[in-house]
Chains A and B, each alone.
Chain A
Amino acid sequence: MSLNIDQIRGLFPVLHQEVHGKPLIYLDNAATTQKPQSVLDALSTYYSQDNSNIHRGAHALADRATRYYEATREAVREFINAKESAEIIFTKGTTESINLVAQTFGRKFIGKDDEIIISTLEHHSNIVPWQMLCEEKGAVLKIIPITESGEIIFEEFQKLLSPKTKLVSIVHASNALGTINPVKKIIDAAHQIGAKVLLDGAQSTSHLEIDVQDLDCDFLAFSAHKLYGPTGLGVLYGKREILEAMPPFLGGGEMIKEVTFEKTTYNDIPFKFEAGTPNIADVIAFKTSLDFIKSLGKKNIKMHEDDLLSYSNELLTSIKGFIPVGTAKEKVCVLSFNIKDMHPFDVGVMLDANGIAVRTGHHCTQPLMKRLGLEGTVRASFAVYNTRNEIEKLAESVAKIARIKNK
């Protein structure tokens, strides 16, 4: 089924505006996606009709809010095909989800001389929490190298695996280059030597079908705001037996079974990991964004986004001075590039002057940029509401900018 993009665009109020006197072309979707009206309405309805604290209130509003909150947990379960909704923990975002695993699973199960494997493609949020843990525990961080095209070298990964490997934490789709990693193969290989695997799904969950049971990953971390949902909300999926074996993350209300001054017993999962009043409004509204994705169908979204990516490649590669960065065979719709003899910041500012929103810089992947010998790139990233016409405008603007230094 091909999607009616005009109709979809009509659902996103923010897209219909001018910046610097030009119609907005929003191509910074890997940073955050825009929100459909239904998500905005859900936020406003919650505060205007249902606002109350969840799980313990003895009144109608609290009961309603609790039901809606838990309905999102069930919707997330379905979205990633987890076995049960208790395996879904709400966090602040992907970063917090990864830190939660590092501070609980990591602190308990990773010790001196144990090894954690990540890849060169990682976002800082999948590097720094492990460095902090390694420093504390005397564990060792190992890095999977990549090719020039931005693909991990699987054979090198296999060489890094050893009985010391306790965890492989790897990005599913690279935020800077778009590369989709062969995660199923990685998970299988890691499991063979008894290591657990965390998938950073921040960039993959909005574009690819995710089935955690089929992938058999032990953890999956992702953010609502890259899925047309609210900011400040993320998910950590973990297998029940692992979550149960992990100590709590934050202490406080909600996460306890019984508190005495002598001893506290902890609540069951997922509540054990959700101390304090959670981000109720955003959790409730998140269901609406998952409904939005479901109504379009991930397959249809992917087909449209693949078309945008290949069309942009087609139009931009012929521009004199255009240098693509990240040319993996399997990619989500991220187009990273540079213009010969121009700094990515300057290109970004000039695109902005044309109404085109992109990201420039190192994209929180400084080690990756260093490996590629680059200071940064310009990154255009697409979502379901982008059009071929917008790609044409991008190509026109890039061509005009490139001509300054590439006559």
Chain B
Amino acid sequence: MSSIQDIQDEIVSEFEILGDDKESTIFYIMELGASLAPFPENERKEENIIKGCQSKVWLIADEQDGKINYKADSNTDITKGLISLLLRVLNNRKPEEIMKAELDFVSRIGMGSIIGSQRSNGFASMIKQIKLYALAFQTKQNV
């Protein structure tokens, strides 16, 4: 499996191809969202909603062979696309790897100017929640 850094570099080079054209970048992010794995209907409930996002984002996680598998969804297509980028980098990894991950692709692709500052705050909340899950699973493993 590629390292977190390799996958981030891959994402950055994909966005470089899109250049400065904001419209194509947004279309691309929406397309990524469409490929997000289906989210279980029965998990679409209040307690799985991430606080701090303007749009609704549901996130759940389970553990298999010491690695965390996240599933997420949103009611907006752009947010779904952003989630799919995050999960591409962080899914199926060990908790400590996720907690240590430095997500530099976010600033390298100029996320702030693509999605605006309010959504950037929401994006930060998503990362925080993903890392909180990792911390919880790590604590459980160590018990």
Contact = CB atoms under 8 A, between A and B. Distances in A.
Nearest to B74: A343
B55 A345 contact: yes
Given A21-B20, A343-B76, A349 B115 contact: yes
Interface in B65-110: 75-79
Interface of B: 20-23, 25-27, 30, 54-55, 75-79, 115-116, 119
Nearest to B23: A353
B55 A343 contact: yes
Contact of A353 (B22, B54, B75): B22
B23 A354 contact: yes
A379 B116 CA distance: 18
A341 to B, nearest CB: 9
Nearest to A348: B116
Contacts of A354: 23
5 contacts: A346-B30, A349-B26, A349-B116, A353-B22, A404-B27
Given A349-B26, A404-B30, A21 B21 contact: yes
Nearest to B31: A404
A396 to B, nearest CB: 13
Nearest to A404: B30
A343 B23 contact: no
Contacts of A350: 23, 26
Nearest to A343: B76
Interface string A5-24: 00000000000000011000
Nearest to B24: A353
Interface in A366-381: 375
Contacts of B22: 20-21, 352-353
B18 to A, nearest CB: 12
Interface string A384-407: 000000000000000000001000
B141 to A, nearest CB: 37
Contacts of B55: 343, 345
A342 B75 CA distance: 9
A361 interface: yes
Interface string A344-360: 01100110111000000
A345 B76 contact: yes
Interface of A: 20-21, 342-343, 345-346, 349-350, 352-354, 361, 375, 404
A261 B115 CA distance: 56
A30 B26 CA distance: 26
Contacts of B25: 353
A305 to B, nearest CB: 28
Enumerate the 5 nearest inter-chain pairs by beta-carbon distance, A residue then B residue, closest first. Answer: A343-B76, A353-B22, A353-B23, A20-B22, A346-B78
A21 B113 CA distance: 13
A345 B26 contact: no
B77 A346 contact: yes
Contact of B76 (A20, A346, A352, A353): A346
Nearest to A20: B22
Nearest to B81: A346
Contacts of A21: 20-22
B24 to A, nearest CB: 9
A394 to B, nearest CB: 15
A404 B24 CA distance: 13
B103 to A, nearest CB: 21
B46 to A, nearest CB: 15
Given A20-B22, A21-B20, A346-B76, A361 B115 contact: no
A361 B76 CA distance: 12
Contacts of B20: 21
Contacts of A345: 54-55, 76, 78-79, 119
B72 to A, nearest CB: 16
A354 B78 CA distance: 16
Contacts of B30: 346, 404
A346 B75 CA distance: 10
Contacts of A353: 22-23, 25-26
Given A20-B22, A343-B77, A343-B78, 17 more contacts: A20-B23, A21-B22, A343-B55, A343-B76, A345-B54, A345-B76, A345-B119, A346-B30, A346-B78, A349-B26, A349-B78, A349-B115, A350-B23, A350-B26, A352-B116, A375-B75, A404-B30
A342 B20 CA distance: 24
